[in-house]
């Protein structure tokens, strides 16, 4: 079964840049997608196709891709950005959907 | 405005079959590229994709749960139904339905742009 690997936790101070990585063997050929989930709420799509931002998502959210790793960056982190973040991507066949294990972002 | 809402029992007994309904509005599941998926999340754990049905009535299932899952749609009612057989306490989770968009780049890709609020299903005798 395909796996997407994320760090369990990332901590940053307000105003700094948070970077959350996601590694997977199929990522050189597949896009990465990112979701933000706050406690007790449903996930929200924040980045699609590696680096596109849905309408309504603040510009401080950005995404990049390099080799087997996609990265979600949040510049000028605010307290409201504290949440769990999940990457998602298909495997090399494209048929099946996989999520990473999630990263808890803590704003110090 | 796209909205999705999950409904179903909050409590099921082990070995029973779970039936969940996703009622949606703001899009048509008969439009090309439109799909609906079910995703679950055990308490304190990560998201897990379960199943997807597309505008052409093609269905895809998680390989680990494929034998227990059935997804179907009623386009006229704007509903998608998921059944999961032989429920076990480890299946206790919040179950979400999500509008799923299909995109074709090098290969097929699916992603979730709108989610329901989720429904907690507890499996216990």
**Containing H/E element for B121?**
strand B119-123
Q: What's the rounded mean pLDDT across residues B6-33?
A: 97
Residue A49 contacts B, CB cutoff 8 Å: yes
**A30, A94, A99 member nearest B48 (Cβ):** A99
Whether residue A73 has pLDDT greater than 90: yes
Q: Please tell me which residue of chain B has the smallest CA distance to A54.
A: B113
Whether residue B83 has pLDDT greater than 90: yes
- What is the overall mean pLDDT for chain B? 96
CB A107 within 8 A of CB A16: no
Per-residue model confidence (pLDDT) at position A108: 94
Q: What's the rounded mean pLDDT across residues A15-21?
A: 98
Residue B67: strand pairing partners: none
Whether residue A15 has pLDDT greater than 90: yes
Query: Using one digit for the tens of pLDDT, what is the confidence trace for B33-63?
Result: 999 999 999 999 999 999 999 999 999 999 9
Both tokens of A95, joined, read 């048929």
Q: Answer whether B112 sits within 8 Å of A54, measured CB to CB.
A: no
Rg (CA), chain A: 13
User: Which residue from A47, A33, A70, A61 is spatially nearest to B109, judged by alpha carbons?
Assistant: A33
User: Which residue from B2, B4, B14 is spatially nearest to B37, judged by alpha carbons?
Assistant: B4
Q: Where residue A96 falls among pLDDT bands split at 50, 70, 90?
A: confident
Whether residue A94 has pLDDT greater than 90: no
CB A80 within 8 A of CB A28: no
Query: Using one digit for the tens of pLDDT, what is the confidence trace for A35-58?
Result: 999 999 999 999 999 999 999 999
Q: Where residue A101 falls among pLDDT bands split at 50, 70, 90?
A: very high
Using a CB-CB cut-off of 8 Å, the residues of chain A touching B46 are: 86, 99-102
User: Which residue from A41, A73, A68, A71 is spatially nearest to A57, judged by alpha carbons?
Assistant: A73
Residue A90 contacts B, CB cutoff 8 Å: yes
Query: Using one digit for the tens of pLDDT, what is the confidence trace for B85-95?
Result: 999 999 999 99
Per-residue model confidence (pLDDT) at position B105: 73
Q: Answer whether B108 sits within 8 Å of A90, measured CB to CB.
A: yes
């Amino acid at each position: 079964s395909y796996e997407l690997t994320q760090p369990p936790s990332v901590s940053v101070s307000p105003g700094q840049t948070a970077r959350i990585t996601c590694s997977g063997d199929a990522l050189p050929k597949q896009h990465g997608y990112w979701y933000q989930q706050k406690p007790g709420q449903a996930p929200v799509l924040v980045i699609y196709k590696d680096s596109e931002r849905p309408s309504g998502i603040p510009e401080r959210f950005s995404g990049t891709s390099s080799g087997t790793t996609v990265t979600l960056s949040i510049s000028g982190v605010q307290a409201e950005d504290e949440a769990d973040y999940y990457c998602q991507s298909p495997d090399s066949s494209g048929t099946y959907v996989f999520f990473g294990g999630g990263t808890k972002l803590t704003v110090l | 405005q796209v909205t999705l809402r999950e409904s179903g029992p909050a409590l099921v007994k082990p070995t029973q079959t779970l039936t969940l309904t996703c009622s949606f509005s703001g899009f048509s599941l008969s439009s090309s590229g439109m799909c609906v998926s079910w995703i679950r999340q055990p308490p304190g754990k990560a998201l897990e994709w379960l199943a997807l049905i597309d505008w052409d009535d093609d269905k895809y299932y998680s390989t680990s749960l494929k034998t227990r899952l059935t997804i179907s749609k009623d386009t006229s009612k704007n509903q998608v139904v998921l059944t999961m057989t032989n429920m076990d306490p480890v299946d206790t989770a919040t179950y979400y339905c999500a509008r799923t968009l299909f995109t074709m780049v090098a290969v097929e890709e699916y992603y979730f742009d709108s989610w329901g609020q989720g429904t907690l299903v507890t499996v216990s005798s």
